[in-house]
């Protein structure tokens, strides 16, 4: 069973940057998807961005429109890690951020559906406020 652990959330001022880290364990093979969802107070959980690895260790990235151009998902295929680099943070980015893992490989620009997620992290709080 795959387990996911994320870290790095904290209070930051608007316009600043923050990096979240994630490590998945218990999985095997080079073909999987790792990435991030978030949930703001009073709102439903939403897709943020993913890196989806093929068997040849090439990857496809996909992002929500709200973060495109500001957030970047990167990571190491063999180590099964991912980071979320968040730049130019806005108050509306305030949320609990969840790292996710799935054995489903995604290569379309459509947001990943939460039903395809096989493992969730416990979440890390990001607060953007002055």
Q: What is the dihedral of CA 107, 109, 111, 112, to 10 degrees?
A: 0
Indicate the pLDDT class of residue 126, thresholds 50, 70 and 90: very high
Sheet arrangement for strand 18-25: 3-7, 18-25, 81-86, 71-76
pLDDT exceeds cutoff 90 at 28: no
Residues 20/122, Cβ–Cβ less than 8 Å: no
Tell me the per-residue pLDDT of 29-66, one tens digit each, with 9 for 90 and over.
889 999 999 999 999 999 999 999 988 888 899 999 99
pLDDT value of residue 46? 97
Give the integer Cα–Cα distance in Å for 126 and 9. 5
DSSP state of 114: G
Q: Which two tokens stand for residue 83?
A: 């980071």
Say whether pLDDT at 109 is over 90: no
């Amino acid at each position: 069973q795959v387990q996911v652990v994320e870290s790095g959330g904290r209070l930051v001022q608007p316009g600043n940057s923050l990096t979240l880290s994630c490590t998945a364990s218990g999985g095997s093979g080079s073909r999987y998807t790792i990435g991030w969802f978030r949930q703001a107070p009073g709102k439903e959980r939403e897709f943020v961005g993913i890196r989806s690895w093929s068997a040849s260790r090439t990857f496809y990235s996909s992002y929500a429109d709200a973060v495109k151009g500001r957030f970047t998902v990167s990571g190491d295929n063999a180590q099964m890690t991912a980071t979320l680099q968040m730049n130019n943070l806005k108050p509306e980015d305030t949320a609990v951020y969840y790292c996710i893992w799935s054995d489903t490989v995604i290569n379309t620009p459509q947001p990943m559906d939460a039903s395809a997620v096989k493992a969730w992290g416990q979440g890390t709080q990001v607060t953007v406020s002055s």
